[in-house]
Homo-oligomer: A and B are copies of this chain.
Amino acid sequence: MPTLRIALAQVNSTVGDIPGNAATVRRWSREAADAGAHLVAFPEMMLTGYPIEDLVFRNSFVEASRQALRTLAADLAADGLGELAVVVGYVDADGPPAISSDAEPGTGRRDASALLHRGEVAATYYKHHLPNYGVFDEDRYFEPGDTLTVVRLGDVDVALTVCEDIWQAGGPFTAARRAGVGLVVNINASPYELNKDDVRLRLVKRRAVEAGAAVAFVNMIGGQDELVFDGDSMIVSAEGELLARTGQFTSELLVHDLDLPVADASPNVPGSTDATAPDVEQTIDDDMSVTRVIINAEISDRADDRDGGIAERIADEEEIWSALTMGLRDYVDKNRFPSVILGLSGGIDSAVVAAIAVDALGPDRVVGVSLPSGYSSEHSKDDAADLAKRTGLDYRVQPIQPMVDAFLANMSLSGLSVENLQARVRGVILMALSNQEGHLVLTTGNKSELAVGYSTLYGDSVGGFNPLKDVPKTMVWQLARWRNTRPGSPIPENSITKPPSAELRPGQKDSDSLPDYDILDPIIRGYVDRDLGRDELIAAGNDPALVDRTLRMIDIAEYKRRQSAPGTKISGKAFGRDRRLPITNSFREGVKTSTAP
When the two chains form the complex, which single residue of B61, B532, B577, B584 contacts A533, counting CB atoms closer than 8 Å? B61
With A432-B413, A563-B563, A586-B334 known as contacts, the answer to whether A53 contacts B20 (CB < 8 A) is no
Task: Determine the chain B residues whose CB is within 8 A of the CB of A531 once the complex forms.
Answer: 54, 57-59
When the two chains form the complex, which single residue of B224, B411, B457 contacts A432, counting CB atoms closer than 8 Å? B411
Structural contact, B534 and A137, CB atoms closer than 8 A? no
Structural contact, A586 and B16, CB atoms closer than 8 A? yes
In this assembly, does A96 line the interface, its C-beta being within 8 Å of a C-beta of chain B? Answer: no
In this assembly, does A595 line the interface, its C-beta being within 8 Å of a C-beta of chain B? Answer: yes
In this assembly, does A462 line the interface, its C-beta being within 8 Å of a C-beta of chain B? Answer: yes
In the A-B complex, the 10 residue pairs with the smallest Cβ-Cβ separation, listed nearest first, are A60-B533, A16-B587, A406-B406, A17-B586, A417-B435, A19-B594, A16-B586, A139-B139, A16-B585, A23-B597
In this assembly, does A482 line the interface, its C-beta being within 8 Å of a C-beta of chain B? Answer: no
With A416-B435, A421-B432, A597-B23 known as contacts, the answer to whether A137 contacts B580 (CB < 8 A) is yes
* Smallest beta-carbon distance A428→chain B, Å: 5
Say which one of A100-108, A262-270, A278-286 lies at the interface with B. A100-108
Cβ-closest chain B residue relative to A75: B595
Task: Determine the chain B residues whose CB is within 8 A of the CB of A16 once the complex forms.
Answer: 582, 585-588
Cβ < 8 Å to B, chain A residues 132-167: 132-134, 137, 139-140
In this assembly, does A375 line the interface, its C-beta being within 8 Å of a C-beta of chain B? Answer: no
* Smallest beta-carbon distance A199→chain B, Å: 14
Structural contact, B462 and A458, CB atoms closer than 8 A? yes
Structural contact, B566 and A583, CB atoms closer than 8 A? yes
* Smallest beta-carbon distance A430→chain B, Å: 10
In this assembly, does A261 line the interface, its C-beta being within 8 Å of a C-beta of chain B? Answer: no
* Smallest beta-carbon distance A409→chain B, Å: 7
In this assembly, does A287 line the interface, its C-beta being within 8 Å of a C-beta of chain B? Answer: no
Show 30 residue pairs from A and B whose CB-CB distance is below 8 angstroms, ordered by the A residue: A15-B587, A16-B585, A16-B588, A18-B587, A19-B591, A23-B596, A51-B582, A53-B581, A55-B582, A55-B587, A59-B533, A60-B534, A60-B536, A64-B593, A99-B535, A132-B140, A137-B137, A137-B140, A137-B580, A139-B139, A139-B140, A225-B583, A334-B586, A402-B409, A407-B429, A416-B435, A421-B428, A424-B431, A427-B458, A563-B565
* Smallest beta-carbon distance A95→chain B, Å: 17
Structural contact, B581 and A55, CB atoms closer than 8 A? yes
Structural contact, B15 and A64, CB atoms closer than 8 A? no
A413 to B403, CA, bound (A): 14
Structural contact, A458 and B431, CB atoms closer than 8 A? yes
Cβ < 8 Å to B, chain A residues 516-564: 530-536, 539, 559, 562-564
A416 to B154, CA, bound (A): 63
Task: Determine the chain B residues whose CB is within 8 A of the CB of A274 once the complex forms.
Answer: none
Task: Determine the chain B residues whose CB is within 8 A of the CB of A431 once the complex forms.
Answer: 420, 424, 457-458
Total copies of the chain: 2
In this assembly, does A178 line the interface, its C-beta being within 8 Å of a C-beta of chain B? Answer: no
In this assembly, does A88 line the interface, its C-beta being within 8 Å of a C-beta of chain B? Answer: no
Most B-side CB within 10 Å, residue of A102, A409, A562: A562
Task: Determine the chain B residues whose CB is within 8 A of the CB of A458 once the complex forms.
Answer: 427-428, 431, 458, 462
* Smallest beta-carbon distance A14→chain B, Å: 5
Structural contact, B414 and A424, CB atoms closer than 8 A? no
* Smallest beta-carbon distance A569→chain B, Å: 14
Task: Determine the chain B residues whose CB is within 8 A of the CB of A594 once the complex forms.
Answer: 19, 22-23
In this assembly, does A71 line the interface, its C-beta being within 8 Å of a C-beta of chain B? Answer: yes
In this assembly, does A272 line the interface, its C-beta being within 8 Å of a C-beta of chain B? Answer: no
In this assembly, does A344 line the interface, its C-beta being within 8 Å of a C-beta of chain B? Answer: no
Structural contact, A436 and B417, CB atoms closer than 8 A? yes
Cβ-closest chain B residue relative to A64: B593
Structural contact, B584 and A224, CB atoms closer than 8 A? yes
Task: Determine the chain B residues whose CB is within 8 A of the CB of A585 once the complex forms.
Answer: 15-16, 55
In this assembly, does A484 line the interface, its C-beta being within 8 Å of a C-beta of chain B? Answer: no
Cβ-closest chain B residue relative to A430: B458
Structural contact, A533 and B18, CB atoms closer than 8 A? no
Cβ-closest chain B residue relative to A421: B432
A75 to B331, CA, bound (A): 56
Beyond the given A55-B587, A64-B593, A407-B428, please list 5 additional residue pairs across the A-B interface where CB-CB is below 8 A. Answer: A16-B586, A20-B586, A53-B582, A57-B531, A335-B584
In this assembly, does A464 line the interface, its C-beta being within 8 Å of a C-beta of chain B? Answer: yes
With A22-B593, A458-B458 known as contacts, the answer to whether A464 contacts B429 (CB < 8 A) is no
With A61-B533, A593-B19 known as contacts, the answer to whether A407 contacts B420 (CB < 8 A) is no
Cβ-closest chain B residue relative to A134: B105
* Smallest beta-carbon distance A53→chain B, Å: 5
Structural contact, A436 and B414, CB atoms closer than 8 A? yes
Structural contact, B102 and A530, CB atoms closer than 8 A? yes
In this assembly, does A425 line the interface, its C-beta being within 8 Å of a C-beta of chain B? Answer: yes
In this assembly, does A410 line the interface, its C-beta being within 8 Å of a C-beta of chain B? Answer: yes
Cβ < 8 Å to B, chain A residues 311-337: 330-331, 334-335
When the two chains form the complex, which single residue of B407, B409, B582 contacts A52, counting CB atoms closer than 8 Å? B582
Structural contact, A582 and B406, CB atoms closer than 8 A? no
Task: Determine the chain B residues whose CB is within 8 A of the CB of A462 once the complex forms.
Answer: 457-458
With A53-B581, A64-B593, A582-B55 known as contacts, the answer to whether A428 contacts B424 (CB < 8 A) is yes
In this assembly, does A589 line the interface, its C-beta being within 8 Å of a C-beta of chain B? Answer: yes
In this assembly, does A68 line the interface, its C-beta being within 8 Å of a C-beta of chain B? Answer: yes
Structural contact, A99 and B533, CB atoms closer than 8 A? yes
Most B-side CB within 10 Å, residue of A68, A75, A405, A587: A587
Cβ-closest chain B residue relative to A425: B428
Cβ-closest chain B residue relative to A59: B533
A251 to B421, CA, bound (A): 42
In this assembly, does A302 line the interface, its C-beta being within 8 Å of a C-beta of chain B? Answer: no
Structural contact, A398 and B411, CB atoms closer than 8 A? yes
